[in-house]
Amino acid sequence: MKKITKILLLVIVLIMLLPQSVIAGSTPYATYTYASFGSVLTSPAAYVPDTVVDSADMGLEESLKDPRDLFVGPDEKIYIADAGLSKVIVLDRYMKYLYSISSFVNSEGVPDRFNGCAGVFVNEENIFVCDTENNRIIMFDTEGNYVRTIPKPESNLFEEGSIYKPISCVCDDYGRLFVVSSTTYQGVIVINTKGDFFGFIGATKVVVSALELMWRKFQTEEQRELSEQYVSTEYNNITIDDKNFIYVTTSALDAGAQQDAIANGDKSTTFAPVKKLNASGTDVMKRNGFFPPSGEVLVADEKYNEEAEISGASRIVDVAMGPEKTWSIIDQKRSKVFTYNENGDLLFIFGDKNGMQVGNVDTIAAIEYQGSKILLLDKTNLNIVTFRRTEYADLLITALRHDNEMKYDETVQDWTEILKRNNNFDSAYVQIGKSLYREAEYEEIDVPVRENAEDVEIGDTDIVFDCPHCGKNLVIDYRGAGLQINCSQCGTPVLVPIPDGMELGDLDLDSGERPLTVHEDFDLLRLNVKEAVPDGTLDWIRQNEPGVKIIRNSDNLGFGAANNIGFKFAIEKEYD
């Protein structure tokens, strides 16, 4: 008996000493990534099931019926839009019932109520409810008090006979509402909180084959009207990040074309089920990973594998913003979560719909982050499943944070620790290489920095610039272009600008990842990055209109955002 006890104790000790990647195998699903050549690479668990919260746990008197949307507010309160109950349910951060919104007295003093509300968005000031079947959005304050009704926007740009059915919306920092209507094919609808129509953005490009175009030339007008209409694909969900970029998802793309784009490494936007739009509707998402960030890479072919339980391209129905510029999409077909970094690199995949264990989600409808947790809404089992971030995922986030802060020596250490836990992670090797490369850029050359540009002799090849933090005038030899230095006055790390006319390739720098500041005539702040204007335009302006001030941005932000930057610059400089 004593021998058996000793053996059992030894087994318990060995289990306790197992690395996390082995312990994580107890989750009811696999966690994995993909290699550069497309094979599956198993990974330690990034998120593990934590709790399952149903109506009774929430303290609801009436059970959930048809939950469509989930949102976590700035104060971590949880909002559920239930179309079956025509109600928005508000929970505290611990998922306990606070109150619900289903009826209100409208601006005309008439009792009113929702009809099939499918979406909800919350910011610091207001709650926006997509009252879908009533063809409107209702606006409340954060205590649930009625503010106003935002009616269907009116414009000749809407197709004749079109029906407005808002299912999801977001509001940016400038009070613009971006609305997804389930029956609108012209893109995301942009309005203000009074319902004034601004236009459409982000219409999905329509692809028509040459054969189809040729055939239409021989069709009569009646035949053309009866043939398939070539309209843009509608979106199914929308979210917004802290920089006012809009993320939209669609599940209405041609499944075969969507999967072919993944297999062929097509980084274009044409068959992308998730897009990142700037204010003008341009897709600015980075798709620089091994495969486009579009969901599952290896799938069973629907045509040739009829016995497969799940086949074909991912059905992407929601996207959520995570920490350190990460973002996650959900595949409703497989109940999986795919998480990427800002560059479009796949970090991990987890989840499964098969099984009855905690962590299996039958029909995933929405995803949200609540701090470090991930919340998934299961519309079949009528509950919310929460997932807790593991130590392995904590390391990933730490590595990304250090990379974002340009602490590349620490980033290398982070990714090295990650490889100790997951030597299958191909992207980690790539990230280490990038970090070492960047660290060498900043530390390889020792170039002296001179102070007070007005008091020193400036050579033809010298770079003169101001510290963006304290305004100190600095001068550095051209060899310092692109390096990170510490300001001699405030001690803050700053990036030395790369002057116009100096090719980035000559310095082995990556302009797409290095926003650099430089002052022209000690006055104009510019960002020296890829331009969103035709080649040669800026040179022509400088030569022919020397009085014009030019501001370059770190990305193609769109018309509205560019105007805001221009206004801010003019106000700060006290221009008329």
Q: Report pLDDT digits (tens) over 345-362.
A: 999 999 998 777 888 899
**H-helix or E-strand spanning residue 393:** helix 391-404
Range 59-87 average pLDDT: 97
Query: Which of the pair, 333 or 490, is modelled with greater confidence?
Result: 333
Label residue 363 exposed, middle or buried (CB < 10 Å: 0-12, 13-18, 19+). middle
Give the Cα-Cα-Cα angle 358, 359, 362 (nearest 5 degrees). Answer: 100
Q: How large a percentage of the chain has pLDDT more than 90? A: 52
| Predicted pLDDT at 301 | 74
| Predicted pLDDT at 19 | 35
**For residue 31, what are its two tokens?**
């966690």
* Short-list 23, 2, 44, CA closest to 396: 44
CB 463 within 8 A of CB 480: yes
Lowest-confidence range among 56-60, 138-142, 280-284, 331-335? 280-284
| Predicted pLDDT at 446 | 47
| Predicted pLDDT at 275 | 96
The SS3 of residue 445 is: coil
Residue 100 has pLDDT above 70, yes or no: yes
| Predicted pLDDT at 391 | 97
**H-helix or E-strand spanning residue 318:** strand 316-321
Question: 400: left (phi > 0), else alpha (psi -120 to 50), else beta?
Answer: alpha
CB 314 within 8 A of CB 295: yes
For residue 336, what are the β-bridge partners? 331
Lowest-confidence range among 106-115, 290-299, 315-324, 531-540? 531-540
**H-helix or E-strand spanning residue 372:** none
| Predicted pLDDT at 459 | 66
Instruction: Give the E-state strand segments of 55-123 in sequence order.
Output: 67-72, 78-82, 87-91, 97-101, 103-105, 111-113, 119-122
CB 120 within 8 A of CB 100: no
Range 67-77 average pLDDT: 97
Lowest-confidence range among 133-147, 165-179, 240-254, 467-481? 467-481
Label residue 411 exposed, middle or buried (CB < 10 Å: 0-12, 13-18, 19+). buried
Name the pTM for this structure: 0.71
Q: Report pLDDT digits (tens) over 489-543.
A: 767 777 777 665 554 444 444 433 333 333 333 232 333 333 344 445 556 566 6
Question: What does the mean pLDDT of the chain come to?
Answer: 79
Compute the Cα dihedral for 513, 519, 520, 523 and give only its sign: positive
Query: Which of the pair, 534 or 73, is modelled with greater confidence?
Result: 73
Q: What residue type is assigned to position 173 of the chain?
A: D
For residue 383, what are the β-bridge partners? 54, 378
Q: What are phi and psi of 265, to 5 degrees?
A: 65, 30
For residue 187, what are the β-bridge partners? none
Q: Report pLDDT digits (tens) over 220-279.
A: 555 544 444 444 568 999 999 999 999 999 998 989 999 999 999 888 888 999 999 998
Range 381-391 average pLDDT: 96
The rounded Cα 422 to chain-centroid distance in angstroms is 25
Residue 115 has pLDDT above 90, yes or no: yes
Query: Which of the pair, 499 or 428, is modelled with greater confidence?
Result: 428
Length of the chain: 576
Query: Which of the pair, 353 or 119, is modelled with greater confidence?
Result: 119
* Short-list 409, 170, 371, CA closest to 277: 170
Give the Cα-Cα-Cα angle 175, 180, 186 (nearest 5 degrees). Answer: 110
Rg of the chain over CA atoms, in angstroms? 27
Q: What are phi and psi of 423, to 5 degrees?
A: -75, 5
| Predicted pLDDT at 534 | 45
Give the Cα-Cα-Cα angle 372, 349, 47 (nearest 5 degrees). Answer: 30
